[in-house]
Structure 1
């Protein structure tokens, strides 16, 4: 997995980098087919003082790119919210892959007339 962490109006310190990497381990534990990850951290000059820290992530998995964004007062809180949202999207994507590989109706065994009346 390629990981890119960049900051806008913000210096990405080793502590922030390590925090993001530790949080991403949870995502990889659920779904290990992650190809590329771009994390974008920013401090915005919004009029709302309580929501100035912004975190975004683009995760490229086989056949799909997932995008999640989060805004909070604290950068670490924004990263936590971001990872929770990403975790839900990864689990949803994993479930869709699993459901997609079920056998089609054509391949299912036929039901007898008596069994059909019971069902």
Structure 2
């Protein structure tokens, strides 16, 4: 899994980068299924932070999550909660599909 972290109108500090890397461990169970994982942290002029992420799976499926909050770390937490749920659900769908596939 290739991970890209970037900031838009926000300079990503080392502490924020470490926090995101710590949260990435929550996706350990699906890291072999994800090819690219892009995280964008942006700051709006009125003090609102936006944390968004895109997961690109091996079979071509994409998942996108976007969270807005006044606290950056809270937005990151919620984003990872949602992404963990989406990726787990996608993994279950693929496992069900593979189980239904008849052997030839």
- TM over 0.5, yes or no? yes
TM-score range, shorter chain: 0.7 to 0.9
State the structure with bigger RCO (CA 8 A, min sep 6), 1 or 2: 2
List 4+ stretches of structure 1 deviating above 2 A. none
> Computing the radius of gyration over CA atoms, which structure comes out larger, 1 or 2?
1
Unaligned runs of 5+ in 2: none
Structure 1 residues not aligned, in runs of 5+: 108-119
Matched, 1:58 2:62: no
Residue by residue over 1:65-116, the C-alpha shift from the partner in whole angstroms, topping out at 9 and shown as x without a partner, is 1111111110000000000000000110011011112236x88xxxxxxxxx
What number of residue pairs does the alignment pair up?
101
When the two chains are superposed, the root-mean-square deviation of aligned CA atoms in Å is 1.8
| TM-score normalised by length of structure 2 | 0.88
Deviation of residue 38 (structure 1)?
Answer: 0.9
Question: Please, what TM-score do these two structures have when normalized by structure 1?
Answer: 0.77
